Amino acid sequence: MKRLKAVVGLLFVLVVLAPFALFASGQDEGSETVKIGISFGTLQQERWTREREMMEAYAEELGGIEILVQSADSDATMQNRQAENLITQGVDVLIVIPQDAEASGVIVEDAHAAGIPVIAYDRMINNSDVDIYVSFDSVKVGELMSEYAIRNAPTGNYVILKGGPTDNNAHLVYEGNMNVLQQYVDGGDIEIVSDQWCENWSPEEALQHTENALTANNNDVQAIVTGWDGLAGAAIQALAAERLAGDVVVTGQDADLSACQAIVEGTQTMTVYKPLSDLARAGVETALALAKGEQIEYSGTVNNGFKDVPAVLPEIFAVDATNMVDVIIDGGFHSMEAVYANVPRDQWPE
Ligand code: BGC
């Protein structure tokens, strides 16, 4: 009898209590934590370091998230290796800012083979089965720049400085540029006298291209449409050497601090502001939802050559000296002190 009781007792423990023990262990803190791997093409440009901090801060605020970051210093091969490493570390979901839109396709294959969903963050991974695209509308970025340039330089010679040719966004921005400019080229109002790529978004190349364009055209250039504030800064440097800074329309994107300063000082004309905190939050929220298998709200789809990728696309804004305070400073992106640092205090806006 005693032995029977012992056997029944053991069975009770195994059959009735064991599942609770397993369940309880599934609820402990460690296994509840969602591990998000983030693979940056580079962290050497202002926006990406800010986004890393924003994503980490937001994850901290939400709790229960561990973030693992890798950055590839603009080297696509290194990025693939680093992503492989994140996959081996058992992340639940992978956020990729690809250096190379094509070469990063293997990251998606490898992650999927390990059952890990992938988010293309800001930059598309082309011809791949990527799960979701969290970005801004880069064609619209290019259109905003060109519309602004045409309003301020309706005739004359244009220089175009495109970003890195392996970055899908550089192509989209250019597509947007030409959506607006082509009709003015065809109508004979403007002439594009130089149209160049800048490898890995290199400001050094942008400087070289601008110097060459100025020399070849005897400094007769009315607008420089650049794909990013870092390229705009280089163009302004070339203009300044010819005492032309402030006389030529110069566009950019990202609202980097130095660009916002140049805008209120009058040497850069405009930038396209993309609210990075909206994107960073969307990135973390989407990653969480994917990891937990929850429904995600998309704004639309974007084709990447393989499929229509569900996309989350926050709004963007053209910024010049007239709305710097409203959009950038009141929006909390940069402080008044930082943007107007080189402007005498009595000339600061109210
Ligand atoms: C991003 C831009 C950024 C550029 C250079 C692009 O893919 O969309 O915001 O300025 O890369 O890093």
d(CA 121, CA 97): 5
Residue with CA closest to ligand 1 atom 5: 201
Q: So what's the pLDDT on residue 31? A: 56
Q: So what's the pLDDT on residue 169? A: 98
Q: Count how many Cα atoms sit within 13 Å of the Cα of residue 104 in the half-sphere of its side chain.
A: 31
3-state secondary structure of 323: coil
Q: So what's the pLDDT on residue 316? A: 97
Q: So what's the pLDDT on residue 4? A: 41
Ligand 1 contacts CB of residue 253 (under 6 A): yes
CB-count exposure of residue 277 (10 Å: 0-12, 13-18, 19+): middle
Q: Which of 51, 171, 253, 258 to mutate to test the pocket of ligand 1 (most atoms within 8 A of CB)?
A: 253
Residue with CA closest to ligand 1 atom 9: 254
The shares of helix, strand and coil residues in the chain, as percent rounded to the nearest 5, are 50, 20, 30
Q: So what's the pLDDT on residue 182? A: 98
3-state secondary structure of 181: helix
Q: What is the pTM of this model?
A: 0.90
d(CA 35, CA 346): 50
pLDDT tens over the chain, length 350 residues: 444 444 333 333 333 333 333 333 333 344 589 999 999 999 999 999 999 999 999 999 999 999 999 999 999 999 999 999 999 999 999 999 999 999 999 999 999 999 999 999 999 999 999 999 999 999 999 999 999 999 999 999 999 999 999 999 999 999 999 999 999 999 999 999 999 999 999 999 999 999 999 999 999 999 999 999 999 999 999 999 999 999 999 999 999 999 999 999 999 999 999 999 999 999 999 999 999 999 998 989 999 999 999 999 999 999 999 999 999 999 999 999 999 999 999 999 98
All residues at 6 or more sequence positions from 246 whose CB lies less than 8 Å from its CB, including other chains: 239, 266, 267
Gap from CA of 129 to ligand 1 centroid (Å):
22
Gap from CA of 228 to ligand 1 centroid (Å):
7
Q: So what's the pLDDT on residue 19? A: 37
All residues at 6 or more sequence positions from 92 whose CB lies less than 8 Å from its CB, including other chains: 34, 35, 36, 116, 291
Q: So what's the pLDDT on residue 26? A: 33
d(CA 102, CA 209): 26
Q: So what's the pLDDT on residue 350? A: 84
d(CA 97, CA 201): 14
Beta strands in 233-280 (DSSP E): 249-253, 270-273
Q: So what's the pLDDT on residue 130? A: 98
* Nearest of 203, 115, 327, 76 to residue 96 by alpha carbon: 76
